[in-house]
Structure formats: C-alpha cells, structure tokens
Amino acid sequence: MTQACDIAVVGAGPVGGTLALALAARGRKVLLVDKADLKPMENPDFDGRAYAIAHGCKPLLQEAGLWERLPFAPCPILDIDVTDGKPGRAPSPLKLHFDHKAVGDDPFGWIIEARSVRVALNAALAESNVIVRAPAEALVSRHAESAIVQVADERFEAKLVVAAEGRQSPLRNQAGISVTRLPYKQTAVIFAVAHEVPHKNVALEHFLPGGPFAVLPMTGTAEYPNISAIVFTESDTNAKLLYGMDDAGLLRAVQARLGNRLGRLELAGRRWLYPLYAMYAARYYDTRLALAGDAAHGVHPIAGQGLNLGLRDAAVLLDLAGAAEDPGAESVLRAYQAKQRPINMAMLLGMDVLDRLFSNNSPPVRLVRDLGLAAVERMPRLKQRFMLAAMGR
C-alpha cells in the first residue's frame, strides 16, 4: 500500500528536522528519514560543540517547537569584539567593538550547544505528527507529478522531496546537480574551555594569519560555571598538531592568542577536527526535489553563519512549499532558488573574502586592514549595518 504525504524530508539534522517540524505544525503531512539513529539522549554528555544562532532564526525554531525544548539555556551574545592579531600574541587593543545596544535591546544571537539542539529535535519529533523513520534508507524515484520514497518495505508518495542530508547529499548527486568546492587548506579544531573570569556574553573573533580564532560565550553548567567554545582555525598541518597536543600544550596555544582576558583556563569536553572548504550547488532544485542547508551550500565558519543559512532556507521553503497547493510544483521550487541562492552565494563570497583578507601576513595587507578596522570603528552607521546583518535582519 502506498501512503500519501505532502513532503518527504531526507536528513533529520538541524535543518531537515526543523523544517519537518515547522511544516507539520502548519498542517502538512511530512515524512522524515535519517540514515542515523535519532537516539533520545536524555542525559547527553557535554561535547564541546556549539552553534551560533542569529537572532533572525529564533522565530523558526519557536514555530518548530524547538526553542522552548532546548534543555540547556542558549547563551545570548551581547557584544562582539573583532581583532587583528599576530601569531602567539594576544588580541591587539586596535579592535572593532560591536555592542548590541547600538541596535536595540535584543542580543545579536545565541550560542546553543549542539547536544541541546539534538535533544530538542528528538523530543519535539517524538511528540509531533511527523512520520519519522530512522535509522533507515530512503530510496527515491522522482516523476513529473510526484516522488516515490521507499523506506524498507513501506512506500510513500510525496509531492516534494527535500534533500537535507548535509554536504555529501546522495539525492543531490543522484539528480546530477554539480557542486563546486573551494578548499581553504585550513582545519578547525573545536573544543570548549572552562575559565576563571566570566565572559560577560562577549564573543571574540581574533583574526590570525593561520585562520580565525573564535571564542564564543556559552551558558555555564554546574560543573563549569564559566565556559566558552573555541573554534581554533589553523593550516591543516598545524591544526593536526594542535589536535594531538596534550592538554597543557593546547591550553598554552589558546592562552597565547587569548591573553589573560578569561583568566586561568581548563579544557572541558572533547576535541573535534573539521577540515574546512566552501561549497555550492549549481542549482537548488530538480523535478520534485529541493536542496536545503549544507546539501546546497557550505561556508567558512569564520562568522558562524552555516546553520543560519540553512535555517533561512528552511524558513523560505516553509513559506513557499508550506502554503502551496502543490508544494513540489516547479514554480514553487524556482521561487525558492531565486530567493535563497543569491543570498547564500553572497554570504559564501563574503566569508571567503574575509578569510583570505585576514589569513594574510603581508605587511601592506595588514596595514590596510588595521586601518580599515580603525576606520569602521569610527563609523557608527556602518557598524549598525554590520550588526543588523549579523542578527539576520
């Protein structure tokens, strides 16, 4: 027997899971398939990974019923410091300082632990009308009028299939949509540090020739009352060395870049290694198929925008496909691509230029960018524009 549904979402990561929940909340019949097991994770261990979620993405997370289910409070980002640095030196006093009060009372966004998002997704899915199949494989065949999704011995017919399977996206490959990859020859080492001095909700982006070094404020836990996530980007070789260092060595490398800003440091949770590359798909749709999130694009994590772009894809698909009589009609998919692809490409290029400009140690380039930082610091209107963009407004 074939079961009819409106939309099949393949990939229950933060983008696919959020989209499925929000579509179901708007009354759509949704199938969600993930190849991985969506474990309940009642007591997940602190794992040191976190997302920066822009202010503009909160309404979607609320509509999906996720925001109020986050088990660990999101940490508001109230101020952002941007500094240019030299290897082994603490941030210079010549910095750009963004204060959220310059654009209102709202924070720029929040740092949310990755485990918190997973727990909220699983809890919300368990209570929703979404038909969840995981761990399972979706075999998809697409036709002019609908798509057939075979999951083990169950057969579903959907008007639209959304590929939200992350960067490797088998559905994107099956549709013959080509992908361009821009390698950075940089790898990010991700971990968390507990510290002596409170972070006061300030995020730091310290630009260094090897790559950006970001310190993101997190909500304290009983074990670690003051804690921050570190995204330590370096050349591939140096990142592997950092990853393999003993705790004392890694902390010395952090302290050399951070100075005494946060006092005494201690590692919390484990380390993660992410080789970095940007990528973009040539198209965002094919017959009865839409790409969303990392399946469609990947940006340098320099400004923590990757997931935010994916959530905005989900918000636009929700508005267009969620309301359409035929959610997989070509006109809907064309409108989705026309709205999202240019915005995502602009963000990808912006992050690329930022990384290339700041991962450069030549004295003239350093001088120009230091003068640039100092000039922007004195331009309140331009700073406001940057701040609103960071908030996703």
Ligand X SMILES: Cc1cc2nc3c(=O)[nH]c(=O)nc-3n(C[C@H](O)[C@H](O)[C@H](O)COP(=O)(O)OP(=O)(O)OC[C@H]3O[C@@H](n4cnc5c(N)ncnc54)[C@H](O)[C@@H]3O)c2cc1C
- Residues lying near ligand X in the complex (CB under 6 A): 10-16, 33-36, 51-52, 138, 164-166, 170, 188, 190, 231, 274, 293-294, 301, 304-308, 310
Residue 138 exposed, middle or buried by CB count within 10 Å (0-12, 13-18, 19+):
buried
Nearer to ligand X, 54 or 268 (CB): 54
Least Å distance, CB 382 to ligand X, is 24
- The CB-of-268 to ligand X minimum distance in angstroms stands at 17
Using a 10 angstrom Cβ sphere, with 0-12 exposed, 13-18 middle and 19 or more buried, the burial of residue 389 is middle
Q: How far is the CB of 309 from ligand X (least distance, A)?
A: 7
Task: Please give the residue whose beta carbon sits closest to ligand X in the complex.
Answer: 13
Nearer to ligand X by C-beta: 64 or 188?
188
The nearest distance, CB 355 to ligand X, in angstroms, is 13
Task: Return the number of the residue (165 or 355) whose C-beta is nearest ligand X.
Answer: 165
In angstroms, rounded to a whole number, what is the distance separating the alpha carbons of residues 376 and 360? 20
Q: How far apart are the first and last CA of the chain?
A: 46
**Between 52 and 124, whose beta carbon lies closer to ligand X?**
52
Token pair in block for residue 56: 């503009």
Nearer to ligand X (CB atom), residue 17 or residue 322: 17
**Minimum distance of ligand X from residue 304's CB (angstroms):** 3
Closer residue to ligand X, CB minimum distance, 181 or 264: 181
Q: Minimum Å distance from CB 138 to ligand X?
A: 6
SS3 state of residue 286: strand
Q: Give the residue with the Cβ less far from ligand X, 103 or 149.
A: 149
| Single-letter amino acid code for the residue at 385 | R
For residue 148, give both structure tokens. Answer: 């057939």
Q: Which two tokens stand for residue 18?
A: 């959020």
- Smallest gap, in angstroms, from Cβ of residue 286 to ligand X? 16
As a whole number of Å, the CA-based R_g of the chain is 21
Query: What DSSP string describes 296-332?
Result: TEE--GGGS-HHHHHHHHHHHHHHHHHH-SSTT-HHH
Range list of β-strands (E), the chain? 2-10, 30-33, 50-54, 75-77, 79-84, 95-99, 109-113, 131-133, 138-142, 147-151, 154-163, 179-195, 202-207, 213-218, 227-235, 265-281, 285-286, 289-291, 297-298
| Residue closer to ligand X, measured from CB, 134 or 329 | 134
Smaller CB separation from ligand X, 222 or 302: 302
The CB-of-82 to ligand X minimum distance in angstroms stands at 15
Contact predicate 114/71, CB 8 Å:
no
Complex with ligand X: residue 6 or 34, whichever CB lies closer: 34
Q: Counting Cβ atoms within 10 Å, is residue 304 exposed (0-12), middle (13-18) or buried (19+)?
A: buried
- Rounded to a whole number of angstroms, the minimum distance from the CB of residue 362 to ligand X is 26
Q: How far is the CB of 166 from ligand X (least distance, A)?
A: 3
Q: Which is nearer to ligand X, 11 or 56 (CB)?
A: 11
Cα separation of 151 and 156, whole Å? Answer: 8
Instruction: In angstroms, give the least distance from the CB of 278 to ligand X.
Output: 11
Closest C-alpha among 235, 249, 259 to residue 191: 249
Q: Strand 109-113: give its sheet, edge to edge.
A: 50-54, 109-113, 75-77
DSSP class of residue 373 equals H
Q: Is residue 68 left, alpha or beta, with left meaning phi > 0 and alpha meaning psi from -120 to 50?
A: alpha
